[in-house]
Homo-oligomer: A and B are copies of this chain.
Amino acid sequence: MKPLRIAVAGLGTVGGGVADVLLTRGRELAERAGRPLELVGVSARDRKKKRATDISHLEWATDPASLAKSDADVIVELIGGEEGVARTLVETSLAAKKHVVTANKALLAVHGAQLAALAEQNNVSLKFEAAAAGGIPIVKALRESLIAYGIDAVRGILNGTCNYILTQMEATGRTFEDVLKEAQKLGFAEADPTLDIGGGDTAHKLALLSALAFGIAPNLSNINTGGIGHITPEDIGFAHEFGYRIKLLGIARRVPGGIDQRVTAAMVRRGTPLADVEGPFNAVVADAGPAGPFFFEGRGAGEAPTASAVVADLVDIARGAFAPAFGRAANMLTKAPPPPDSRRSAFYLRFRVLDVPGVLAEIAGHLAKSDVSIESMIQRGRAPGEPVAIVMITHECSESAVSRALKVIAASDKVLGAPSMIPMEAG
């Protein structure tokens, strides 16, 4: 049978892995695909770089955009970035009726709906299993498997860097800044870690999972996004004491009036699937109505897991499997603005206060006035006149009510610094 002709743009860790698999596991892949997968061209900055597999026989494009004019059937875009070269390559490739496989979550989170429409107009596939949760086949599961009853919620640990940092903070008791520095030294965090630790990378991935689960167009501005930079060893210690772990979660759920999407550090009860995900692993829980929760866990980044996802997309294309990028025709994707009302949740609250009579009564009074009721409380140690910590877990209440109360409480001269507030989430 006619081979599927593949060109890869970007030969970093993942691109190198993809090229390697295509060149060394051809027979197995052809068995799976029913036809050969042939790597015909590559584009990367450094032609001379030493690589695991010899690629000197391949056509080399200095300008990645020129691949769109090559005779490849599929372009694999592994350049990254939501604009610039990557966007141009994907757009011109689709317009030239070439299938596109990409790991570019930023591009799809911003331009996904438009690119999906462009792919459909040109009768080609736009596939992105590698863009969310690495090797875990969650894109395919949400697009093709968990569809009979719809999805009520998707919750995931989608950023390995954050999960590594939080796991290390818990294991060592060290501060966020300390562990981040070490992670950078070990190559587990980027030199500029903002996108990871600020929650932006998780938001990109969540936008894609929400689109697949709920039929909404990816839209970052609908995602309430926070990171992990505010988490202290104290918070992690108290979480442990209450039986929880702190995880950075991407959460999208159907609520009255819309789809609530957020990226937030959250307290997750130990013993639940997401709480026990350690180090650089990723995991996703999909609540599929009466079919129940499904849990997926695996490596979320790195050469082999990500290359595995890219290759699976390529084999799908080789077999002629076609599904719209987000599981429904692009013109059916809805806008789904975030729900109007503040969401409700239970919260962990930590106050640094002067150990003087009446301080607890004052805090409790302000919370009560805002209809925030307390489920459990720890005041650790006694140090008359000195700073001590008071930690509370609230019953479910409105987020905005808690925020209002905290503002008033923070203004008290018995309360030192800004209170800490972390939502409790299902794991």
Contact = CB atoms under 8 A, between A and B. Distances in A.
Interface in A128-171: 129, 135-137, 140-141, 144-150
A148 B25 CA distance: 8
A135 B294 contact: yes
Given A28-B147, A148-B311, A291 B299 contact: yes
Interface in A259-314: 271, 273, 276, 288-299, 303-305, 307-312
Contact of A332 (B31, B140, B322, B324): B31
B304 A31 contact: no
A329 interface: yes
B31 A136 contact: no
Nearest to A314: B148
Copies of this chain assembled into the complex: 2
A385 interface: no
Q: How large is the interface on A (under 10, 10 to 19, 20 to 34, 35 or more residues)?
A: 35 or more
A228 to B, nearest CB: 24
A319 interface: yes
Contact of A298 (B147, B294, B319, B329): B294
Contacts of A312: 144-148
Contacts of A315: 144, 147
A144 B293 CA distance: 22
Contact of A137 (B28, B141, B297, B327): B141
B292 A295 contact: no
A290 B52 CA distance: 15
Nearest to A332: B31
Contacts of A399: none
Contacts of A296: 294-296
Given A140-B140, A273-B297, A322-B319, A147 B29 contact: yes
Contacts of A303: 290
Contacts of A309: 145
A383 interface: no
A200 interface: no
Nearest to A311: B148
A34 interface: yes
A273 B274 CA distance: 11
Given A137-B141, A144-B140, A145-B140, A298 B308 contact: no
Contacts of A327: 32
Contacts of A149: 21, 25, 304, 308
A21 B148 contact: yes
Nearest to A327: B32
Interface of A: 21, 25, 28-29, 31-32, 34, 129, 135-137, 140-141, 144-150, 215, 271, 273, 276, 288-299, 303-305, 307-312, 315-316, 319-324, 327-329, 332
5 A-B pairs closest in CB distance? A137-B145, A290-B304, A148-B311, A294-B298, A291-B308
8 contacts: A135-B288, A144-B312, A145-B308, A145-B312, A146-B308, A276-B276, A291-B307, A295-B296
